[in-house]
Amino acid sequence: MIYYKTAEEIVLMREACLLVGKAHAAAASLLKPGMTTMQVNDIVEQFILDNGGKPSFKNYHGFPAATCISMNEAVVHGFPGEHVLKEGDIISLDIGIFKNGFHGDSAYTYAIGEVPEEIKRLLSVTKQSLYLGIAKAVAGNRVGDISNAIQEFTEKKHGYGVVREMVGHGLGRNLHEDPQVPNYGKKGSGPKLKPGMVIAIEPMINMGVKEIIHLNDGWTVLTKDRKPSAHFEHDVHITKGDPDILTSFEEIEFAEKNNPNLTWSYF
């Protein structure tokens, strides 16, 4: 079932969504080699709690942490521990916040120190594909129009692998709602987009093959060929006009640009 949000509900939801970007920025301003992924998680969790929210992911179907932290060849659903960040790593943070009765959900991939040009290109293409998908998120289009725009740019134009098993989703009072939003598909296919829908668009793009494997920890998803993967995500409100992006990367990009331990120039 697709839940359509009222204007009043969108106001409440926007606050939760914007807080996600601020939580990202809190972490992005401090990321550096030598930190553990658990330290990153703790920064995010404390920020969420200090700002009146609750971590959406913690204990969700048993997930053990406040933040999904996926490094290098990990696509999604990695969780924090004692792994130490080092120069050349990429780290995807996927953060969810529940506030005002609604969830916000956004992911961003960071480059620690200097990374190879091919990884910069992967991050750049993945991020660009997110906005190409968002451009199709208008009333009257269908989910497949978003999916096709992402696939054409990442897979057909740049030769990357588009993960099939993991998809975007509706978002609202529940963390995952209908419709599913794949990152591959045919134009004109899937549910029609209507005003009041809110969807999380989140390309998960592999440098190599599209195939993935699941680790025995029950959560972490890796690329089959162990090549790097990137992940960016925005929450988008469908309107009669232009797409209304509820989340924001503005504060993330500011923190990224001003943290000497991160590479940001690939944008």
| The pair of three-digit structure tokens given for residue 240, joined into one six-digit string | 């009669």
pLDDT at 226: 98
At residue 264, the pLDDT reads: 75
Question: Residues 173, 221: contact at Cβ < 8 Å?
Answer: no
- Cα separation, 180 vs 228, in Å, equals 24
Which domains are seen in the chain, by residue range? 7-263 (3.90.230.10)
For the chain (267 residues), the mean pLDDT of every run of 10, in chain order, is: 97 98 98 98 98 98 97 97 97 98 98 95 97 98 98 98 98 98 98 98 98 96 98 98 98 96 75
pLDDT attached to residue 265 = 61
138-150 b/e with 16+ CB inside 10 Å = b? beebbbbbbbbbb
205, burial (CB in 10 Å: exposed 0-12, middle 13-18, buried 19+):
buried
Length of the chain in terms of residues written:
267
Report which secondary-structure segment, H or E, holds 38: helix 37-50
Report pLDDT for 266: 55
pTM: 0.97
Q: Is residue 48 within a helix (H) or strand (E), and if so which, with residue range? A: helix 37-50
CA distance 82 to 108: 21
Q: Rounded to whole angstroms, how far apart are CA atoms 39 and 223?
A: 25
